[in-house]
Chain A
Amino acid sequence: MVQEQAPQKLSIQFEDLHQQNESYIVGMWTFLVTEIMFFGAVFATYLVYRVVNQEAFWQAHRHLSVPLGFFNTCVLLTSSLTMALTVHYSQHGLRKQQLLFLLATMALAMTFLVVKGFEYHHKFVEGLVPGPNFHFEPAEYTRVAQLFFSLYFAMTGLHALHVAIGVLVMGVLAVLIAIRHPSVQDFIPVELVGLYWHFVDIVWIFLFPLLYLIPR
């Protein structure tokens, strides 16, 4: 493998590069812990309501499109692969491959958002957005179905926001790599974005079965 790593820049507060790199990685993991707690609270909220309203949640979940959800799951899983490859090539200092797979990851992330957009659009058309225009069959579940769709929009919306932020961050990273900016000479920034991206994927891995695949 080609080892063409230029010398990294050492920030003043660190003693050596090893300490600097480890600090960034530990910092990113600590941030991901806060993200887990962030999503954890909504997951807990959802689970409490689902346990209490089994039947209504089952009725409501039938209005979600499993094929589209499954497609999006595949898209995100593939994007995790391309991201892992980006990190791999970054560690070996292969700029072109790195850029290629980073752009592939971005394309997959945007595909996910577009599909999600279509799904949201369907919900608007079908009147499944909570509020005065909400209507649901069978009518006896209207009340709790609104709760289900409130949570659906809150959870997938929050996740989609994280995907969108991921696209932005990857875009900045791609530009920096393309112009050979000194801050991306080593693989640490790519590694950090990679950690974030895998986290965003894992959230979806939990969201998909929780919302789309409720057993009878």
Chain B
Amino acid sequence: MSVTVARPGEVRHNYLNAGDTVRSWLLTTDHKRIAVLYLVSVTFFFMIGGLLAALIRLELLTPQGDLLTSENYNRVFTMHGVVMIFLFLIPVIPAVLGNFLVPLMVGARDLAFPRLNLASWYLYMAGGLIATWAMVTGGVDTGWTFYPPYSSSYSTSQVTLTIIGAFIIGFSSIATGINFIVTVHKMRAPGLTWFRLPLFIWAHYATSVIIVLGTPVVAITLLLVVVERVFRLGIFDPALGGDPILFQHLFWFYSHPAVYIMILPAMGVISEVVACFSRKRVFGYHFVAFSSVAIAVIGFLVWGHHMFTTGQSVYAGMAFSLLSFLVAVPSAVKVFNWTATMYKGTIDLRAPMLYVMGFLGLFVIGGLTGLFLAALATDVHLQDTYFVVAHFHYIMVGGTIFGYLAGLHFWWPKMTGRMYPEGIAKLAALIIFAGFNFTFLPQFVLGYLGMPRRYHWYPEEWQMLHVMSSAGAFLLGIGYLLPMLYLLWSLRNGALAGPNPWGATGLEWKTDSPPITHNFEETPIVTEEPYAYENHHEHEEVASGTGASTTET
């Protein structure tokens, strides 16, 4: 296995210079190139979603609806949700970092089904473009949840097209999920037992299980809505004896676990980064691994907490409330274990580690406010207010995006062979953290005071809080722009990284940066546990100790 550092001027073979035609990118089956395709496309859709968010925050600067009409405001927040959830948050970490790293981390030459992997990107793009086409030709105004009868009988917007887009994107995630499951089961390098797998792999495995079990349910449910709109069948239509609440059950059966599809991969990233920059093995490896599985299992049993106030039985509500409290336990296990990993570690506050710290803070706030919403009585007050909006942004944005940015910076040297500029990266991390809290902390207060979500008119006494939130969003936008700029800059101007700039453990660091097309010169053999940072430390001490004793004699 070659791990020599490239000398300046020397160009080694790697997956990036393996071909530079458009065709070599669009027809590639290399998981690393597909990850780069996804990186570019999710960034594109993130910018669209971000612009829509900017419109929302601009509108909310004033209590009157003066920038957008009510109809257009409905369209803007719906499309912000659809784009950010289906096209950004769900695919972002699995499709970019997961695609790049899963084969590297298990010591394989590629995913089990490389062509299926490429097909998943095409499905993603097809779904994304259909959704974009729907946006351009009139938008959609039902809220991202597509609740009937809004979405079936009462909306004249492009519901059908948008749903078809979401349906196709669902199949792209299913393809990725199947690929990860088979790869983890069947393609681990010799010696890489299940309990030697990096926690990133455990997290992605759990995520894939959720994708495979959940996505088909929402796919068929959305398809039934399309059938209802197009063929006038009446599956959720109360006029024909159908029940709109049933749609909500089926929708949240996927869409609550979807939150774990977003957050679990981020948790996988955090485990890798926190161990590397604390120079310690992850505290309670087995607990962190199994907590991912526990989240995947219990996550499927909590969907009813979205429906405490929508006519579900009280007893079902009580059961769902209890289970929602229960799903907080494995999440808390992870947070405690990451904190314990840092305890007495040699902490190096690089940019990825700053994102990890930010993640821990935001995830704790998001998680604890989730408990308010899981409690039946408080939820009656807080349901459909800005408290909910703030809560899920803390989890989905504070959790997923911070995890994503931590991972993107951490593995950027591996993906591109270049270091990002550390100083400005740290600054960006701080700006994003500050901007995020400025945006969403006031929304907890607004929600508690009774500001409903999805309204653009509000009483004047809430303007101060809304202005704070909008100002924070502006800061957050600047924070997001910075990494886009300096990461692009680093592609040409960053310092050469070498195979393992962080001195990290894990198979992905044992090959070149950027890796060669088939990842490893020869299949690696794994002989030790993951995160053996302390072992290597001891080896160094032992080595220097024997060195000292030899000079004495």
Which chain A residues have a beta carbon within 8 Å of chain B's beta carbons? 11-15, 19, 22-23, 26-27, 30-31, 33-35, 37-42, 44-45, 48-49, 52-53, 56, 130-131, 143-144, 146-147, 150-151, 153-154, 158
Q: Which B210-239 residues have C-beta < 8 A from chain A? A: 212-217, 219-221, 224, 227-228, 231-235, 239
Q: Is B384 an interface residue (CB 8 A)?
A: no
A44 to B224, CA, bound (A): 13
Q: Is B109 an interface residue (CB 8 A)?
A: yes
State the 3 A-B residue pairs at the shortest beta-carbon distance, nearest first: A150-B233, A38-B216, A13-B110
Contacts A19-B186, A37-B216, A38-B217 given; indicate if A45 touches B235 (C-beta within 8 A).
Answer: yes
B234-A45 in contact (CB<8A)? no
Q: Which residues of B contact A23 (CB under 8 A)?
A: 112-113, 182, 186-187
B174-A150 in contact (CB<8A)? no
A14 to B221, CA, bound (A): 37
Would you list 28 pairs from A and B whose C-beta atoms are within 8 A, ordered by A residue? A12-B110, A13-B111, A14-B187, A23-B112, A23-B187, A26-B181, A27-B179, A30-B181, A30-B182, A33-B212, A34-B215, A35-B216, A37-B217, A38-B219, A40-B217, A41-B253, A45-B246, A45-B250, A49-B241, A146-B240, A147-B235, A147-B241, A150-B228, A150-B233, A150-B235, A150-B240, A154-B224, A154-B227
Q: What's the least CB distance linking B482 to chain A, in Å?
A: 37
Contacts A19-B187, A30-B182, A49-B241 given; indicate if A37 touches B214 (C-beta within 8 A).
Answer: yes
Q: Among A11, A49, A131, which residue has its beta carbon within 8 angstroms of that of B232?
A: A131
Which residue of B has the minimal Cβ distance to A146? Answer: B240
Q: Among B179, B214, B221, B243, which residue has its beta carbon within 8 angstroms of that of A49?
A: B243
Q: Is B37 an interface residue (CB 8 A)?
A: no
Which residue of B has the minimal Cβ distance to A38? Answer: B216
A45 to B245, CA, bound (A): 11
Q: Which residues of B contact A35 (CB under 8 A)?
A: 216
A42 to B222, CA, bound (A): 11
Q: Is B536 an interface residue (CB 8 A)?
A: no
Q: What's the least CB distance linking A54 to chain B, in Å?
A: 13
Q: Among B182, B216, B227, B246, which residue has its beta carbon within 8 angstroms of that of A27?
A: B182
Q: Which residues of B contact A27 (CB under 8 A)?
A: 112-113, 178-179, 182
Which residue of B has the minimal Cβ distance to A31? Answer: B178
Contacts A147-B235, A154-B235 given; indicate if A13 touches B240 (C-beta within 8 A).
Answer: no
Q: Among A41, A44, A49, A52, which residue has its beta carbon within 8 angstroms of that of B216?
A: A41
Q: Among B113, B174, B233, B250, which residue has its beta carbon within 8 angstroms of that of A153?
A: B233
Q: What's the least CB distance linking B86 to chain A, in Å?
A: 17
Q: Which residues of A contact B219 (CB under 8 A)?
A: 38
A13 to B459, CA, bound (A): 61
The DSSP consensus for interface residues of chain A is helix
Q: Which residues of B contact A26 (CB under 8 A)?
A: 181-182, 185-186
Cross-chain pair count, CB within 8 angstroms: 116
Which residue of A has the minimal Cβ distance to B214? Answer: A37
With A13-B111, A49-B243, A56-B241 already in contact, 19 other A-B pairs whose C-beta atoms are closer than 8 Å: A12-B110, A13-B112, A23-B112, A27-B112, A27-B178, A34-B213, A37-B214, A37-B215, A38-B220, A45-B224, A49-B242, A131-B231, A143-B239, A143-B241, A147-B241, A147-B242, A150-B228, A150-B234, A150-B240
A194 to B119, CA, bound (A): 23
B114-A13 in contact (CB<8A)? yes
Q: Which residues of A contact B109 (CB under 8 A)?
A: 12-13
Q: Is B108 an interface residue (CB 8 A)?
A: yes
A42 to B247, CA, bound (A): 11
A15 to B523, CA, bound (A): 9
Which residue of A has the minimal Cβ distance to B228? Answer: A150
A42-B224 in contact (CB<8A)? yes
Q: Which residues of B contact A11 (CB under 8 A)?
A: 114
Q: Which residue among A30, A34, A40, A44 has the maximum number of chain B CB atoms within 10 Å of its CB? A: A34
Q: Which B171-220 residues have C-beta < 8 A from chain A? A: 174, 177-179, 181-182, 185-187, 212-217, 219-220
Q: What's the least CB distance linking B250 to chain A, in Å?
A: 6
Which residue of A has the minimal Cβ distance to B215? Answer: A34
A102 to B186, CA, bound (A): 30
Q: Which residues of A contact B182 (CB under 8 A)?
A: 23, 26-27, 30
Q: Which residue among A31, A41, A49, A56 has the maximum number of chain B CB atoms within 10 Å of its CB? A: A41
Q: Which residues of A contact B187 (CB under 8 A)?
A: 13-14, 19, 23
Q: Which residues of B contact A153 (CB under 8 A)?
A: 231, 233
Q: Which residues of A contact B253 (CB under 8 A)?
A: 41
Q: Which residues of B contact A53 (CB under 8 A)?
A: 241
Q: What's the least CB distance linking A50 to chain B, in Å?
A: 11
A147 to B361, CA, bound (A): 49
Q: Is B426 an interface residue (CB 8 A)?
A: no
Q: Which residues of B contact A37 (CB under 8 A)?
A: 212-217
Q: Among B178, B239, B242, which residue has its beta carbon within 8 angstroms of that of A34?
A: B178
Q: What's the least CB distance linking B57 to chain A, in Å?
A: 36
Which residue of A has the minimal Cβ distance to B31? Answer: A13
Q: Which residue among B113, B182, B227, B243 has the maximum number of chain A CB atoms within 10 Å of its CB? A: B182
Which residue of A has the minimal Cβ distance to B113? Answer: A27
Q: What's the least CB distance linking B479 to chain A, in Å?
A: 38
B241-A12 in contact (CB<8A)? no
Q: What's the least CB distance linking B90 to chain A, in Å?
A: 16
Which residue of A has the minimal Cβ distance to B523? Answer: A15
Which residue of B has the minimal Cβ distance to A26? Answer: B182
Q: Which residues of A contact B217 (CB under 8 A)?
A: 37-38, 40-41
Q: Which residues of A contact B250 (CB under 8 A)?
A: 41, 44-45
Q: Among A14, A34, A44, A154, which residue has its beta carbon within 8 angstroms of that of B212?
A: A34
Q: Which residues of A contact B114 (CB under 8 A)?
A: 11, 13
Which residue of A has the minimal Cβ distance to B253? Answer: A41
Which residue of A has the minimal Cβ distance to B250? Answer: A41
Q: What's the least CB distance linking B300 to chain A, in Å?
A: 11
